[in-house]
Amino acid sequence: MKNIHIIGIASIVAILLSGCGGGSVGSSATASAVSGSKSGGPRVEAQARWANVKFGGGGYVPGLIFHPTSPDVLYARTDMGGAYRWNAATSAWVPITDGFGAADTFYHGSETMALDPNDDKRVYMSTGMYLSDKADARLYISTDRGDNWTYVNLPFSAASNAQGRAVGERLMVDPNDPAILFYATRTTGLWKSADRGQTWQQLTSLASHKMTNEEIDTAQWRGVVGMEQVIFDTSTKGTGSATQTIYTAVAPDYAAVAGLSYSMYKTTDGGATWTGIATPVTGYYIPHMVRAKDGMMYVAFTKTTGPGAEGPARLYKFDGSNWTLLKQYDPTWVNYGMGGLSVSGTGATTRIALGVTNSWGNWEGQHIVQMSDDAGATWREISTQTPHFGDQDMWGGWPDDVEIDPNNPERILHVNGGGVWETRNASAAKPTWNFIIAGIEETATLALMAPPPGANYQLLNSSGDIGMVVHTELYKTPTRGPKGWFSNSNSSDMAWSNPAYIATIGTTTWNHPNVAGAYSTDSGLTWNAFPANHPDGMAHQGGDSTLAVTKPGHIVWAPSDSVPAYTTNSGANWAYTNLPAVEPGTSYRLAADRKNPNRVYAYQAGGGWWRPAPKFYYSVDGGQTFTESSQFSTLGPRAEFVSNTSLAVNANAEGDVWVADSQSIFHSLDGGATWTKLGVTESIWGDHPTWSWPVVYGATSIALGKAPAGASYSASVYVAGVINGVWGVHRSDDGGTTWRRFNDDKHQFGGIGVLAADQTVPGRLFMAGSGRGILFSY
């Protein structure tokens, strides 16, 4: 029986336990509600609508895929933030994987995508973020341009977020017989499907080797690239007869273990037999090879895997017998590589666009996108020192994919580490480029904090790669924050009595090597580095680090795996609290009471299911000394990794504290001394033993925000987790007695991370999608 699945989380228990389940990604979802008690009847209410808090791009887009004939049918695949479809009418990208839920987070990055040349609505997308020697990849299939998906389990692994992730495309559809698909895998050679991806067979006629974990680990430092691409050597489509002549490329890593002696191979019998092609250079990767309409092959060779591959690098054209060198780079004071490659036209006037990688900056003479209008005889630069418009001031470095619109050669797009750049006048002496990232939000959000009423900003955003930003308007790219000071910002907080005072901590950068924390006294307009860091702050900058601000200048900082310390003078001096030392992986989560600045809370999550029970501590002297709750650990909290837990306070009541321990919700009304365990959430274990980790966690993030008029409790409570077998974000307006699902199956965003709730607008929740930036309800 074919292992075919239709994706949905509306009945996630059935999906996980039986392997097949109802619903479909992107399908219309009815309003739903669940009760907090087994006897309570469901209330049916309309769920929230969702939009992104704008940052604009923020992540790597390894691949762009045009349909070869249908105008403006274009897709973008990301490494960990899903996939998008271009909407020409709005000049924006539409997310097409937001229906992926918590059970699908591992599949929220696409290694490769393919379009059917004969059916512009049929899309294939391979997923799976990291390599193993297991058959753990999926192939998602859509017949409506990504509005809805089904999937099959693939008999090999994929790695959308590994080195060489722009290589390809690895997956291709035979234009003459679109039931046939070829897939160039990283670790198991070349595979073929003859039934539109439903079943797969390894082409052992080329190679039968399947890399072991030991072989994968040996090559992992530079990334296993494996088989690289497939090209059908044909100018026809829809004939009904399988294309017989096919090219493929193989990287040095797989060639070495599979006994393959060439970098390129060719079949003239549809894959039954293969012949090696002698290439002019050996030991190189082939990030892209393309076929012009006249049959000429253009092949880029570069020495490293990318992103942003280094050289030496070569570009050749190949007529089936002879190689002609078109361009080369050898290391000098810069070390250019080659990445993206696209062609348009035929013969001596073939247009070539080439992405020059490891190309940082924007200086006269620099190469970023090179273009030739005479099949490679001469070249000119079309990106450096040309007009660029958008919210990003960097466009070089990682042009690992470049695409010429097959219906408009004046339109050229290229990717980089933050999104997509486009020109529509490539022939101009100085082409104009626009940063076309409307709709793409790919930041990895690590922490969120919403301010009190009256603040002149709406949200503090701590994210990976971009550091910390202050959002003053939800639909505009933020301009406030310590830009460039941190690679990652791990945690941020503000003084509730004066929200103009903000503090943040993060990981250091090359240009701020000694700055692990900073503060602002003017709502994020200007910033000051802490005069001194927490004694362990430089050595322990991990993502589990948190801080709490009790009042201006007063901060408690818990670096990862460290004892928290406090300052009363914005970091001029730090003193350790009396909290116990922790083992690696058992960091503290901190929160400040919003009604009483003397109250501070610390949750020690345990650090893993095999470790002792979590502990809760509370302070009544501003975070200098803490007392352990003698009752909390007796209620059976689950020991868990810190990242799967959450600590929140009710800003409207002193001593009102909530904890999500990854499995259950706990609530205290007396400042953390005594607790009640709410029996409303429960993890989904599937076939995992209950002493390990679940398939879907029961309660991972919790937040409290402004309650609606007439509510019986002073705050709305939101939790990301599983209630009555349904994963999602759930809301309670009566202190946790009853709950209703707040999102729906169309809005699951690849999994939901940290939460923050608005203190001014009832029902407004901020939440992190999985590589989908920040979403908010409205």
* Band of residue 23 on the pLDDT scale cut at 50, 70, 90: very low
Asked whether residue 402 carries a pLDDT value surpassing 90, the answer given is yes
Widest Cα–Cα separation across the chain? 81
Q: What is the per-residue pLDDT for 46?
A: 61
Q: What is the per-residue pLDDT for 220?
A: 65
Q: What is the per-residue pLDDT for 667?
A: 98
* Band of residue 273 on the pLDDT scale cut at 50, 70, 90: very high
Average of per-residue pLDDT values in the chain? 93
Cα–Cα distance list, 304 to 308, 324, 403 (Å): 9, 22, 21
What one-letter code names the amino acid at 762?
P
Asked whether residue 387 carries a pLDDT value surpassing 70, the answer given is yes
Place of tokens 């709750």: 629
Strand partners, 590: 602
**In the numeric block, which tokens belong to residue 592?**
């400040």
Name the nearest CA neighbour of 652 among 739, 593, 719, 575.
593
Q: Tell me: cis bond preceding 312? Omega within 30 of 0 counts.
A: yes
- Backbone torsions φ then ψ of 18, nearest 5 degrees: -105, -20
From the CB of residue 156, how many other CB atoms can be counted at a distance below 10 Å? 25
Residues 6+ apart with CB under 8 A from 642: 544, 585, 586, 587, 589, 605, 607
Asked whether residue 20 carries a pLDDT value surpassing 90, the answer given is no
Q: What angle do CA 755, 501, 543 make, to 5 degrees?
A: 45
Question: What is the average per-residue pLDDT within 279-296?
Answer: 98
Give residue-wise pLDDT tens across range 679-707. Answer: 999 999 999 998 899 999 999 999 999 99
Instruction: Compute, in degrees rounded to 10, the torsion defined by CA atoms 421, 423, 428, 430.
Output: -30
Q: What is the per-residue pLDDT for 391?
A: 83
Specify the length of the chain in residues.
778
Tell me the DSSP string of 118-166. TEEEEEEEEE-SS--SS---EEEEESSTTSS-EEEE-SS---TTSTTTT
Tell me the DSSP string of 572-616. SS-EE-SPPP--TT-PEEEEE-SS-TT-EEEEE-BSSTTSPPPEE
Sheet (strand 646-649) strand order: 646-649, 657-660, 665-668, 676-678
Give residue-wise pLDDT tens across range 59-88. Answer: 999 999 999 999 999 999 999 999 999 999
Place of tokens 């999906």: 15
Question: What is the average per-residue pLDDT within 409-416?
Answer: 97
**In the numeric block, which tokens belong to residue 89?**
């009418």
* Band of residue 392 on the pLDDT scale cut at 50, 70, 90: confident
Name the nearest CA neighbour of 304 among 491, 124, 118, 167.
167
Q: Which of 28-32, 251-255, 555-559 has the lowest mean pLDDT?
A: 28-32
Question: What is the average per-residue pLDDT within 427-440?
Answer: 97
Sign of the C-alpha dihedral computed for residues 387, 388, 390 and 392 taken in this order: negative
Under DSSP, the state recorded for 537 is T
Asked whether residue 645 carries a pLDDT value surpassing 70, the answer given is yes
Sign of the C-alpha dihedral computed for residues 476, 479, 482 and 487 taken in this order: positive
Give residue-wise pLDDT tens across range 125-162. Answer: 999 999 999 999 999 999 999 999 999 999 999 999 99
Give residue-wise pLDDT tens across range 311-329. Answer: 999 999 999 999 999 999 9
Q: What angle do CA 563, 569, 573 make, to 5 degrees?
A: 50
What one-letter code names the amino acid at 321?
S
Q: What is the per-residue pLDDT for 661?
A: 98
Tell me the DSSP string of 63-92. EEEE-SSSTT-EEEE-SSS-EEEEETTTTE
Residues 6+ apart with CB under 8 A from 765: 48, 703, 705, 718, 729, 731, 742, 755, 756, 757, 758, 776, 777
Q: What is the per-residue pLDDT for 43?
A: 42
Q: β-pairing, 388-389 with 433-435?
A: parallel
What is the distance in angstroms between the CA of the first residue and the CA of the last residue of the chain?
Answer: 44
E runs forming strands in 206-362 = 227-232, 246-250, 264-267, 275-277, 289-291, 297-302, 313-318, 323-329, 337-344, 351-357
Q: What is the per-residue pLDDT for 482?
A: 97
Q: What is the per-residue pLDDT for 585?
A: 86
* Band of residue 413 on the pLDDT scale cut at 50, 70, 90: very high
Place of tokens 């070390």: 335
Asked whether residue 25 carries a pLDDT value surpassing 90, the answer given is no
The whole-angstrom separation of Cα 754 and Cα 752 is: 7
Name the nearest CA neighbour of 681 among 704, 667, 660.
660
Question: What is the average per-residue pLDDT within 705-716?
Answer: 98
Cα–Cα distance list, 642 to 142, 320, 340, 621 (Å): 37, 57, 40, 25
Q: What is the per-residue pLDDT for 168?
A: 92
* Band of residue 711 on the pLDDT scale cut at 50, 70, 90: very high
Question: What is the average per-residue pLDDT within 598-607?
Answer: 97
What's the pTM value of the predicted model, to 2 decimals? 0.93
The whole-angstrom separation of Cα 516 and Cα 489 is: 9
Q: How many CA atoms lie within 13 A of 687 on its CB side?
A: 5
**In the numeric block, which tokens belong to residue 580?**
């116990």
The whole-angstrom separation of Cα 500 and Cα 496 is: 9
* Band of residue 222 on the pLDDT scale cut at 50, 70, 90: low
Q: H or E element: which one contains 254? A: helix 252-258
Sign of the C-alpha dihedral computed for residues 663, 668, 672 and 677 taken in this order: negative
Task: Provide, rounded to the nearest whole percent, the portion of the chain with pLDDT above 90.
Answer: 92
Question: What is the average per-residue pLDDT within 202-219?
Answer: 93
Question: What is the average per-residue pLDDT within 272-282?
Answer: 98
Task: Provide, rounded to the nearest whole percent, the portion of the chain with pLDDT above 70.
Answer: 94
Question: What is the average per-residue pLDDT within 536-544?
Answer: 96
Question: What is the average per-residue pLDDT within 429-457?
Answer: 97
Q: What angle do CA 626, 628, 633 make, to 5 degrees?
A: 150
E runs forming strands in 410-524 = 412-416, 419-423, 433-435, 444-449, 459-464, 467-471, 486-495, 498-508, 517-520
Q: What is the per-residue pLDDT for 22?
A: 31
Asked whether residue 18 carries a pLDDT value surpassing 50, the answer given is no
Q: What is the per-residue pLDDT for 393?
A: 83
Question: What is the average per-residue pLDDT within 517-537?
Answer: 98
The whole-angstrom separation of Cα 395 and Cα 383 is: 8
Q: What is the per-residue pLDDT for 221?
A: 63
Question: What is the average per-residue pLDDT within 5-15?
Answer: 37
The whole-angstrom separation of Cα 352 and Cα 379 is: 9
